[in-house]
Amino acid sequence: MVSVNSNKVVVVGTGQVGSTTAFSIITQGLCNELVLIDPATTKAMGECRDLDDGSEFLNRHVKVRVGDYADCKDADVVVITAGRRPPKNSDRMGELQFTLDIIGGITDGIMSSGFDGVIVVVSNPVDVMSWYVWKRSGLSKTQVLGTGTALDTSRLKTIIGEETGLDPRNVGGFVMGEHGNSQFVPWSAVSLGGKPFAQFLADNKDRFSSVSTADLEAKTRERGNVIKDAKGGTNFGIASTVAGIVQTILWDERRIVPVSTLLDGEYGEHDVFLGVPTELRANGANEIVELTLTDDEQAKLHRSAQIVRSYCEGLL
């Protein structure tokens, strides 16, 4: 008998990030069924119909519909994108109280269905929200993860590609820590074409004399703000990032991605979610890859952990 494997993804929130995430999932044909949940059901219905109308020209038909929290019961992955665009001159941590009021109810709704899959948190501040959803849901630490510094890592590679004129996919390395102002690049672990990045710059001083790691790191940190100032918010980059994470989980690809996951002794930290290189499998976030950091890099990680942990205090 032929066995039929089907998978289902639920996206909670149909704002710009949620709807673009749904678009990325559908155009890549990542699942059999996609369900959108939003209290604005008319908006969600419009998104579903708009997404479905292009199915004739896609490689795979994905069933897309509006649903409610009962649909989470048999979902493989639930993506939480609910929130708002930060007001001008605000930052991700500034959205904590607003987002917290929403995420608590969403988490309770998901868990009331009997859900036992993987939750991917996108809502900012994502490290704090991931910790909160993990605590509130009662799920295992593998089953709750945030997008973390995955998008920041892609931004770093893109910026290095812009500066060097090379394909960003030639860059190896990660942005780590908070998805926010205290994030950092462990340059000791960054490479280009297999060569340590610092050595690459030293060997090509005549071509890249104006390129500095400090500038690259600053540009990476500010990239989101630059985009927000230009167009009001970000949606394409984060949507592609979420789709990549969802694919890795659904297809059990076992890729190493710097998602926000629980540190439980790794890097000397406990009870905090940070963006660190993590092996993703079908059951979620598994083994954390502990890089050999320099003393300065380790100090930056601890500082980032302290900041995130301070915002988690008193939330439960």
Mind telling me the catalytic residues? 179
Six-digit token pair at 71?
Answer: 């649909």
Does 152 show up as a binding residue in the annotation? yes
End-to-end CA distance of the chain: 49
Distances (CA, A) of 309 to 97, 288, 300: 15, 19, 14
Query: In this structure, are residues 141 and 285 in contact, taking their beta carbons and an 8 Å threshold?
Result: yes
Six-digit token pair at 15?
Answer: 């704002």
Query: In this structure, are residues 305 and 176 in contact, taking their beta carbons and an 8 Å threshold?
Result: no
Instruction: Please give the full DSSP string across 113-149, using - where no structure is assigned.
Output: TT--SEEEE-SSSHHHHHHHHHHHH---GGGEEE-TT
Does 248 show up as a binding residue in the annotation? no
Does 13 show up as a binding residue in the annotation? yes
Does 195 show up as a binding residue in the annotation? no
Does 90 show up as a binding residue in the annotation? no
Query: In this structure, are residues 147 and 260 in contact, taking their beta carbons and an 8 Å threshold?
Result: yes
Q: What angle do CA 55, 61, 67 make, to 5 degrees?
A: 95
Does 122 show up as a binding residue in the annotation? yes
Does 257 show up as a binding residue in the annotation? no
Does 277 show up as a binding residue in the annotation? no
Does 127 show up as a binding residue in the annotation? yes
Whole-number Å distance between alpha carbons of 39 and 22? 17
Does 125 show up as a binding residue in the annotation? yes
Does 17 show up as a binding residue in the annotation? yes
Residue numbers belonging to the annotated binding site: 13-18, 38, 43, 69, 92, 122-127, 147, 152-155, 234
Binding-site annotation, residues for substrate: 92, 124-127, 152-155, 234
The annotation places the binding site for NAD(+) at 13-18, 38, 43, 69, 122-124, 147
